[in-house]
Amino acid sequence: MPLTNLQEIVDRVLFFNGMVPMHVASQDDIISTVCKKTRNPSFCFNVLNSSLESNAADPKLKERYATCAKHYNNVVDDIVDGKNYLGKGDYNGVNTMASIAMTEARDCLDSFMQPPKDSSALSGNGKVVEDICNIILVIANLLLGRA
């Protein structure tokens, strides 16, 4: 596969950071803007308005959800940084940011290895985030000639 095709794949995987206009004023406005454009707005509103942290009865789960929120905020920042490195042709930077993002996602998932059990979809979704970061990492390694 030519390098330009790999770069296009990475661009597509990383492109989400520009999807929501930055001029939108509040979280409610962002949710409204996004959900109105989906094929199932009511589902979208339910998902984006739900907060695992505020709905958790168990204090340990509440704390883990808050910690995971911080980890996933870092994941988003890492992916944005990776996209910036990609734009500069710095594939080592992409590799590093993908690795860091994978570690952040894994740190969240690892926090649920002990009781109490998490009954939310967070674990499955966290695995998806980790898998996407792994794809980015493999592509960065291919661009570096390491794979």
Question: Is residue 93 exposed (0-12), middle (13-18) or buried (19+ Cβ within 10 Å)?
Answer: middle
Least confident of 5-9, 84-88, 122-126: 5-9
Q: What is the pLDDT of residue 26?
A: 60
Interior angle at CA 135, CA 130 and CA 140, nearest 5: 120
Measured CA to CA, the distance from residue 108 to residue 111 in angstroms comes to: 5
Give whole-number Cα distances, 63 to 5, 71, 75, 111, 113, in Å: 42, 12, 18, 10, 14
pLDDT digits (tens, 9 = 90+) for 47-76: 666 677 777 788 898 888 888 888 988 998
pLDDT digits (tens, 9 = 90+) for 75-119: 989 999 999 999 999 999 999 999 999 999 999 999 989 999 888
The pTM of the full predicted model, rounded to 2 decimals, is 0.68
Task: Let me know if residue 120 belongs to a domain.
Answer: yes
Task: Let me know if residue 37 belongs to a domain.
Answer: no
Task: Let me know if residue 28 belongs to a domain.
Answer: no
User: What is the span of the domain harbouring residue 10?
Assistant: 3-15+56-143
76: CATH: 1.20.140.40
User: Is the pLDDT at 29 greater than 80, yes or no?
Assistant: no
Please tell me which residue, 9 or 105, carries the higher pLDDT value.
Answer: 105
User: Is the pLDDT at 18 greater than 90, yes or no?
Assistant: no
Please tell me which residue, 40 or 109, carries the higher pLDDT value.
Answer: 109
Task: Let me know if residue 48 belongs to a domain.
Answer: no
Please tell me the total count of domains within the chain: 1
